[in-house]
Chain A
Amino acid sequence: MANVVGAAVCRTAADEGKPADWVPGGERQKVVDPMKMFHELPREMQFITGSEAARESMRRANIDIAIAYPITPQSESMQQAGYLYDEGYIKEYYRAEEEIGTFSAISGASRAGVRSLTATSGPGLMRGMEAISSWPGARTPIIMLNMCRVINTPLAIQPDNIEMSFMLNTGILMLHAENQQDFYDFPLAAICASEQVDVTLPAVVSVDGFFCTHARGPVMITPEEYKLPPRDGWRSAVPAMDNENPPARISRDAPIQKSNFISYHMHSSWQQEVFAAVQRSAKYFHAYLGGLVEVVNPGAEDFIVASGCAVSQAREAVRQEGEAGRKVGLVKIKTIRPFPTEDIYEALKGAKRILVPEFNQAGWLHKELCSVLYGRTKGVIKDGPRVYGGMTMPTEMILETLAEFRKEVK
């Protein structure tokens, strides 16, 4: 039979213009069980930038195809993806025409049943938003790295994570990395969760640009000779569009856009299933990341709830408060979607004051928190400090806001 399914690598040394004895990097790696990679393999500390952490993550992720369009501050990482392609760790790679093209192409690649990666930043994400918001409904596992950046006018290249708020209700799995370490671990976990049969959804790992991508931090990494198992295109809630199995009805049938009750029903049940799949992914993130949240100082009266870089600043505020003899709790939210409502509720049950510092104008995390805790907690939820447009959030700022909060809520 001519049909060879799931061959590991289709590129030969000659195809790639490499010497005859060239072996693609990926071929030299051993496949390891994800749980072993996340929890058992030995780790070595490296002091690297967030972009380099992303590269090392991609090297171990068994990526089949990477497509991206350059934008600051994402470019650094996707250039690195280019080098990984050249070294044979990624099998296919190209620079697309712009983000609508990028995110459409990556959805095509995912429909072929291969592991597909892209990356972007603020304005690029907004440009490709139509395509992005169609990924979950198309049930295309895709991993997107998002290096957060200002999107509003006046435009800037500085960190600001407001673009994340535009993805909250798309059905995408959303993780928010605090630091370089998370930007190494989260993509690997996101890939594994997104490709589970009962999930089959795209995932985005956001990180605050520059603060993390263009700065160095300690990262504990696993040996480079180990990689994740390849994507199995057959294990999927919706079949790959490879004409090897019956096409999924969403793609085969006439588009559900005519005005009749059957189309309404189909659309709503399909979307319900997408959002149910988001919830089902929680168990995988629990297993891979050891929880959807990290709680510091449980049982405290004062709590800071944050995601991304704001966690690092809050962590230092908590440490300084501890030095001053005051116990302040911290909830780090790792997964924005699925939103860990119950874990947060458990952590904040006894809290009197809940502070939500954010790097964006909208205060989307504060709003999320208020909406899920409404009527369930007696604690007062206060937004702030809130910085945006590239403004920094010194630890002192959090400490001052906390001091005011204590005066406001006795």
Chain B
Amino acid sequence: MIKQDNLILTRSDPSGQGGTQLIYRLKSYGLAAVSRPQEEISMIHWEVDIVKFSNENKASFEICHTTELANKTLKFYSDKSLNEFLEKAFPYLEELDSLEKMLPQEP
């Protein structure tokens, strides 16, 4: 089963293409993982983006391809590999948020 920690929202992919989107949040950063339909069921995979949330309460975010974790949309072909990545990503994103907070804020 896919990791449920830090999962704040499970929804039908808002693009309307079918499939499920999982949104994980760790302070202001997080991950959006989507699994969309494929004509060949064996081709079903996960597409994962690191995201930055724009609001404290809402699930609104922007895709963030500038972290050391990922500079593009990542693909995972199994739940196991997705889980392994999530395990690595959670502490990193949590730390990233803390580090950013230490930087002087732009006026």
Binding site for B on A (CB under 8 A): 45-47, 49, 51, 72, 76, 157, 159, 179, 208, 210-218, 309, 312-313, 315-316, 319, 323, 387, 392-397
Contact = CB atoms under 8 A, between A and B. Distances in A.
Contacts of A323: 57-60
Majority-rule SS of A interface residues: mixed
Contacts of B18: 159, 208, 210-212, 214-215, 309, 392
Contacts of B20: 47, 215-218
B19 A217 contact: yes
Interface of B: 1-2, 10-12, 14-20, 35-39, 41, 44, 57-60, 79
A314 B64 CA distance: 27
Highest count of chain A CB atoms <10 Å: which of B14, B18, B38: B18
Contact of A315 (B11, B36, B38, B44): B11
Contacts of B2: 47
A214 B37 contact: yes
Contacts, number: 80
A397 B16 CA distance: 9
Nearest to B79: A47
A395 B14 contact: yes
B41 A214 contact: yes
A47 B44 CA distance: 12
A116 B10 CA distance: 35
Given A45-B1, A395-B14, A211 B41 contact: no
Contact of A312 (B12, B38, B60, B79): B12
13 contacts: A46-B1, A47-B20, A49-B44, A214-B38, A215-B18, A215-B44, A216-B35, A313-B14, A316-B11, A316-B14, A319-B59, A323-B57, A392-B18
Contacts of B60: 323
A309 B41 contact: no
A215 B14 contact: no
Contacts of A45: 1
Contacts of A214: 18, 37-39, 41, 44
Interface hub of A157, A211, A215, A218 (most chain B Cβ within 10 A): A215
A216 B11 contact: no
Nearest to A157: B39
Contacts of B16: 313, 387, 392-395, 397
Contacts of B36: 215
B90 to A, nearest CB: 19
Contact of A215 (B11, B35, B79): B35
A46 B2 CA distance: 9
A117 B12 CA distance: 29
Nearest to B40: A214
Given A47-B2, A76-B41, A216-B35, A319 B19 contact: no
A387 to B, nearest CB: 8
Q: Of residues B19, B35, B79, which shows the largest number of chain A Cβ atoms within 10 Å of its Cβ?
A: B19
Nearest to B21: A316
A11 to B, nearest CB: 29
Given A46-B1, A392-B17, A396-B14, 17 more contacts: A47-B2, A76-B41, A157-B39, A211-B18, A211-B19, A215-B36, A216-B19, A216-B44, A218-B20, A309-B18, A312-B12, A319-B11, A392-B15, A392-B16, A392-B18, A394-B15, A395-B16
A315 B12 contact: yes
A316 B12 contact: yes
A71 to B, nearest CB: 14
Contacts of A159: 18
Nearest to B35: A216
A275 to B, nearest CB: 34
Contacts of B41: 49, 51, 76, 214
B15 A215 contact: no
**Residue with the greatest number of chain A CB neighbours at <10 A, chosen from B11, B12, B39, B59:** B12
B44 to A, nearest CB: 6
A47 B38 CA distance: 15
A288 B77 CA distance: 36
Nearest to A359: B16
Nearest to B43: A214
